[in-house]
Amino acid sequence: MANVAVIGAQWGDEGKGKVVDWLASRADVVVRYQGGHNAGHTLVVGNETYKLSLLPSGLVRGKLCVIGNGVVIDPEALLAEIARVRAQGLSVSPDTLRIADNAVLILPMHGALDRAREEARGDRKIGTTGRGIGPAYEDKVARRAIRVCDLAEPETLDAKLDELLRHHNTLLASLGAPTFDKQTVLARLLALAPEILPYVEPVWERLDTLRQAGKRILFEGAQAVMLDVDHGTYPYVTSSNTVAATAASGAGVGPHSVGFVLGIAKAYATRVGSGPFPSELHDDIGKGLGERGHEFGTVTGRPRRCGWFDAAMVRQAIKVSGIQGLVVTKLDVLDGLKELKLCTGYRIGDKVVKHLPAGMAAQAAAEPIFETMAGWTTSSRSMRTWAELPPAAIAYLRRIEELVEAPIALVSTSPERDDTIVVRDPFAD
């Protein structure tokens, strides 16, 4: 049985939570390998809705869950999330959750700097969540970060805070924002340490043992390929690499362990925050997609921008991330539309291209080239077999396969975990 890596193939919010939850029933361990609490997964189980940001979705299935070294962790946010899901009846303990000792911590000054910078950008805001993810990754690559393992070494914390606050307080003061007192931050970290450290270990070692024992590992990505700091619509991206290759480095396993790469895409397209969105709809159709799809960010609550499915962009995501199978979610949101459109490429000036360019000006100038297809008036909601789908819905999905040059593995027809059409079981490879 193969391991599976799940990643978003658009700009995030594709419904990865439900897919990971469904796959977790077939896995032994679920690993989160990048991002921070700027990402969110919503899982609907019967009458209960779970909103997860840092915790892997496998907790809902009672599986062993791992937060890898590629994740940046806000300890306050983590403990608050643990308390929240425990109140909903989930079991979270060192027996069900393990945290990489070499993961980087998000501290209060990271969020403060994130928000102050965004405010200073004025009309050129990137659209960050203001939760400190970017500044925490900056500290990581600048080699001044405080990591989870440092919570066990008070002397190390003390010395590292000197350098960290020298850097951040200087920046905060230059932006007119309040600065931070070392002793206050140190005291809070020392108070949090006993609550965090019982979960901590070198998770790479545990994952290696599980792999050698033949256990099935599910790697759970956050955000999506087009928000990748290298391959996305830069600078309107997240601060980490979101492509499937990051599953290896962000969990501490070899690339051969990643397994089958499953990409998630909505049957239409959405985006939260700023940045280019060639197929965006500013009319009643776009508004209707948002209303029927309940398109609000899990973490931010911000309304998502909505548009037609961008096959050119998804094809690009598939190529750069090695996606082997596609999951199409929220197909039922398109029910009742008489006409659908697929973006097949872009016109930039007098040129036609089939991928989003890297340059900001070129991205902003990209005009979508649409192909029109018939919609369907009968419902696809809660369908569980391919044969039950309306013929026009099947034609739509087949055309997506042709345009993105990848097979569809799963189709989701409602938020319910069992309303999933299985074309190909990723764990069967």
Q: How far is CA 399 from CA 6, 252, 262, 344, 404, in A?
A: 23, 38, 19, 11, 9
Buried b (16+ CB within 10 A) or exposed e, 245-258: bbbbbbbbbeeebb
What is the set of active-site residues? Answer: 13, 41
Token pair recorded at residue 182: 């070392």
User: Which residues on neighbouring strands pair with residue 394, listed in sequence order?
Assistant: none
> Residue 41 belongs to what H/E stretch?
strand 41-45
Specify the amino acid at residue 211: R
- Pick the closest to residue 222 from 2, 3, 5 (CA basis): 5
Specify the amino acid at residue 310: D
Cβ(402)–Cβ(320) below 8 Å:
no
Phi, psi (deg, nearest 5) at residue 356: -75, 125
- Pick the closest to residue 136 from 105, 174, 167, 103 (CA basis): 105
Cβ(165)–Cβ(144) below 8 Å:
no
